[in-house]
Structure 1
């Protein structure tokens, strides 16, 4: 999955990217409980890509999604 920020948005800090990625990944896994994991990419202005897999999110967030 991908989060695309608007062109006029400021770049996100690493912490903000992590939080956004985990929020979207856990939400997606709650939508489809058959998913074992989710990969989220954050597309920032200037072509900067960042993200993380759901396995790297805090364990309590992933546990609550199941």
Structure 2
């Protein structure tokens, strides 16, 4: 049976925060002497992910 895939849509600010968090996690793992290969894979996936433009309509409670 196939693994279920999930897609996440981030704006540029959220993407930056995610990358900084992953790099910080990697540094913490390396400081503890643990492997950080899985975090490296995530960093490569996030940086290599294609950008997709989406239209977002905001409904500010208008009736």
> TM-score by structure 1 length?
0.33
**Larger % of helix: which?**
2
Please identify which structure carries the higher strand content: 1
Q: Which has the larger radius of gyration?
A: 2
